[in-house]
């Protein structure tokens, strides 16, 4: 058992206050002779930067190089001597589409804070990046925590962790040593949250008030951790944006994918040892094997696995997990999700009624006859073009369904839950409407950062104020209400109250209810489950 998961150590740290942490880590040393901030962590001192009244520490290790622990839970980071520079982001996990360097030595996090060891007990906002379980990192400029720190007096943390086969290749069927290999990417996040709990006070934060928030795959990871015993007690609020995880892969389905993956590498299940030394490039290339599911875009799906240990149940089926029933949760989506990832094909913007059925059958995921879907959309929205029907139906059929399932499960449980829908469309790209990822710079208030699709006009600023203030209010109190929006009621099965973020925002009961009922004719099955 590693120190990061030692129960006795966990109990000791839970009982330790700021004085105990100071004794464990040594004196803080708030600044060096040059005035730059220096913080003592459990493994050594780190030096960051200060700008606009916010201290930033980037590329802070929370775990050891995983190359020696492929497909196994990570060890704690190794101690270092002297002062380690924490000025640049750490490498991303191995993946194909990365903007910077990748490495198996990828367990790094980044911290922004207005204060250091000042007893501030600020809420901690822990962001988990999207990219499914396949790509992404915590170093996108849109995730910069400076604006949230200055706007709301909070501590912001972003994180890298293992992805794709490195984080979710399930080998437990053939070797008990790899019993948790299907979820080590999520166990990395657990380890990062343990690091945050140990160090929050050092960075002016409250270890007893941690909000996890994430978009797309980040939201799915949060939903999964809500059912993971190892994550219990490590976060106290949850905010998900266009990312849900209702069911996970079962061990049979995960083993089937693992067998295909091993075959692509020329290995048999009884020859797992070579996996430890194969080049990263070979391990990534093998993920390009066609998935047995028709919806996985011609490559293997890797995601959470209901392995009976690290994840003993499906995240939100048949009900919401009891261990998270007391955690306040916000579940949101955007009105035009699929315009982000299906809008890149210009043909989808110029569909004819004759072309629509085949295109819809391939992309809606839910197995309902396209003719039935098209007829209902033409009845509901007689002015829609074939392309408008396509984007609306694919959003309802594959991107929105998980949010509805989780909202309903939480409502049945009586858990404190709020739902939202982003309807506001960026003036910079109105054709795409409220597309997938648009809420990221609005929640972070980073509309002026490189890559923001919102523009910096008055309308974008109003939306960023409303959404980021809701997030900050939620982090402070467990309730997203604030003076800049109408009263936001909790989601109920009777009324399905939903905050529609538009200009102006408004509370609406069961928005797009007819579309919801149409797609609930078929059972929902999360991608990768079978």
Catalytic residues: 216, 337, 436
CA–CA separation, 476 vs 457, rounded Å? 28
Query: Encoding tokens for residue 220?
Result: 């799915």
Q: CA nearest 335: which of 421, 427, 454?
A: 421
> How far, in whole angstroms, is CA 356 from its chain's centroid?
32
Three-state DSSP state, 10:
helix
Q: DSSP string covering 342-374, please?
A: TTTSGGGGS--TTTHHHHHHHHS-S---HHHHH
Residues 280/104, Cβ–Cβ less than 8 Å: yes
Cβ partners under 8 Å of residue 504, min gap 6: none
CA angle 221, 225, 226 (to 5 degrees): 120
Q: Burial-class residue 380 by CB neighbours within 10 Å (0-12, 13-18, 19+).
A: middle
Q: How many CB atoms lie within 10 A of CB 270?
A: 9
| d(C-alpha 48, C-alpha 273), whole Å | 40
Q: Choose among 236, 232, 229, 242: nearest CA to 306.
A: 229
**Closest CA relative to residue 73, chosen from 301, 254, 307, 285:** 307
CA 443, 445, 451 angle in degrees (round to 5)? 95
The answer to whether the CB of 463 falls within 8 A of the CB of 442 is yes
Q: Are 401 and 524 in contact (CB under 8 A)?
A: yes
**Contact assessment for residue 164 and residue 71, using Cβ atoms and an 8 Å cutoff:** no
Do 50 and 36 meet the contact criterion of CB atoms below 8 Å apart? yes
Cα–Cα distance between 288 and 281 in angstroms, integer? 12
Q: Can you point out the beta strands (E) in 106-204?
A: 108-113, 122-128, 155-159
């Amino acid at each position: 058992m590693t120190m990061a998961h030692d129960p006795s150590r966990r109990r000791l740290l839970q009982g330790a206050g700021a004085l105990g942490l100071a004794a464990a880590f040594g004196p803080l040393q708030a600044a060096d002779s040059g005035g730059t901030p220096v913080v003592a962590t459990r493994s050594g001192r780190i030096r960051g930067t200060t700008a606009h009244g916010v201290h930033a520490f980037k590329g802070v290790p929370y775990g050891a190089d995983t190359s020696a622990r492929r497909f196994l839970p990570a060890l704690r980071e190794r101690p270092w001597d002297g002062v380690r520079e924490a000025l640049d982001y750490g490498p991303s996990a191995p993946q194909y589409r990365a903007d910077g360097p990748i490495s198996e030595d990828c367990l790094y996090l980044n911290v922004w804070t207005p204060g250091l060891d000042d007893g501030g007990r600020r809420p901690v906002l822990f962001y988990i990046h999207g990219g499914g379980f396949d790509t992404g990192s915590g170093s996108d400029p849109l995730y910069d925590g400076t604006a949230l720190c200055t706007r709301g007096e909070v501590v912001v943390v972003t994180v890298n962790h293992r992805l794709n086969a490195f984080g979710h290749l399930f080998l437990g069927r053939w070797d008990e040593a790899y019993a948790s290999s299907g979820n080590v990417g999520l166990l990395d996040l657990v380890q990062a949250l343990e690091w945050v709990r140990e160090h929050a006070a050092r960075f002016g934060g409250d270890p007893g008030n941690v909000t996890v928030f994430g978009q797309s795959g980040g939201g799915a990871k949060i939903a999964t951790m809500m059912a993971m015993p190892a994550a219990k007690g490590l976060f106290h609020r949850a905010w998900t944006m266009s990312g849900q995880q209702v069911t996970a892969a079962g061990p049979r389905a995960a083993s089937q994918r693992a067998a295909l993956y091993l075959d692509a590498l020329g290995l048999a299940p009884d020859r797992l040892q070579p996996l430890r030394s194969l080049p990263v490039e070979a391990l990534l290339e093998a993920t390009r094997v066609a998935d047995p599911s028709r919806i996985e875009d011609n490559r293997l799906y890797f995601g959470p696995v209901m392995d009976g240990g690290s994840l003993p149940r499906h995240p939100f089926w048949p009900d919401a997990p009891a261990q998270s029933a007391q955690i306040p949760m916000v579940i949101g989506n955007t009105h035009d999700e699929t315009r982000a990832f299906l809008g890149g094909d210009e043909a989808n913007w110029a569909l004819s009624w004759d072309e629509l059925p085949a295109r819809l059958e391939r992309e809606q995921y839910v197995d309902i006859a396209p003719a039935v879907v098209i007829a209902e959309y033409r009845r509901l929205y007689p002015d829609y073009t074939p392309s408008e029907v396509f984007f609306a139906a694919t959003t309802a059929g594959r991107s929105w369904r998980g949010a509805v399932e989780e909202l309903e499960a939480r409502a049945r449980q009586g858990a404190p839950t709020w739902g939202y829908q982003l309807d506001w469309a960026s003036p910079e790209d109105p054709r795409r409407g409220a597309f997938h990822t648009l809420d990221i710079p609005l929640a972070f208030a980073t509309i002026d950062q490189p890559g923001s699709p919102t523009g910096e006009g008055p309308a974008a600023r109003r939306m960023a104020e409303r959404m980021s203030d809701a997030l900050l209010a939620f982090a402070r109190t467990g309730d997203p209400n604030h003076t800049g929006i109408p009263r936001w009621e909790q989601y109920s099965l009777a009324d399905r109250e939903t905050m529609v973020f538009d200009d102006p925002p408004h509370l609406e009961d069961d928005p797009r209810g007819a579309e919801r009922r149409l797609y609930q004719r078929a059972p929902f099955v999360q991608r990768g489950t079978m």
